[in-house]
Amino acid sequence: MDINSLSQKELADLISEANKRKKVLAKRKPINQVRASINKIVRGSGYTLEELFGAKSAAAPRARKATGTAKKSKAGGKVPPKYRNPSNPAETWTGRGKHPRWLAGFVAQGRDVTEFLIK
């Protein structure tokens, strides 16, 4: 906003609005006090913030836009595993990057990667 192009009345209105906003902000409690109060209420009710709002959020959940398509993973996000080691079910692989050692060993023996797909 270029205040140099405002008339005297427009500038006075802007100052008036800014002062109103300043008063509203001055009445607000500091954010750390509000968070502490919310945490106290939540814990007192026997819940955790994660139970109420989800694991990623410590505050109110953000609205998501419904697109009707599958959510695409962002870099660094969790991707569900696609392959499982039959010898050790705890070992899985998402299908991204290099083959893990357990899968590379099976492939070296001549087995097909699709044998290890999680159904």
Domain residues for 106?
Answer: 83-116
Within a domain: 60: no
Within a domain: 71: no
Higher pLDDT, 60 or 93: 93
Within a domain: 61: no
CB 95 within 8 A of CB 105: no
Higher pLDDT, 76 or 96: 96
Query: Is the pTM above the cut of 0.75?
Result: no
Helix (H, G, I), strand (E, B) or coil at 107: helix
Q: What percent of the chain has pLDDT over 90?
A: 59
Paired tokens of 105: 């060993």
Paired tokens of 115: 């044998």
Q: What's the pLDDT tens digit per position in 51-74?
A: 888 876 444 445 555 555 555 555
Within a domain: 65: no
Within a domain: 76: no
CB 81 within 8 A of CB 94: yes
Distance CA 50, CA 4 (A): 49
Distance CA 100, CA 73 (A): 21
Q: How many secondary structure helices (H) and strands (E) does the chain include?
A: 4, 2
> What average pLDDT does range 79-88 have in this prediction?
93
Number of domains in the chain: 2
Within a domain: 32: yes
Q: What's the pLDDT tens digit per position in 23-36?
A: 999 999 999 999 99
Distance CA 97, CA 107 (A): 15
Distance CA 87, CA 74 (A): 31
Within a domain: 2: no
Within a domain: 108: yes
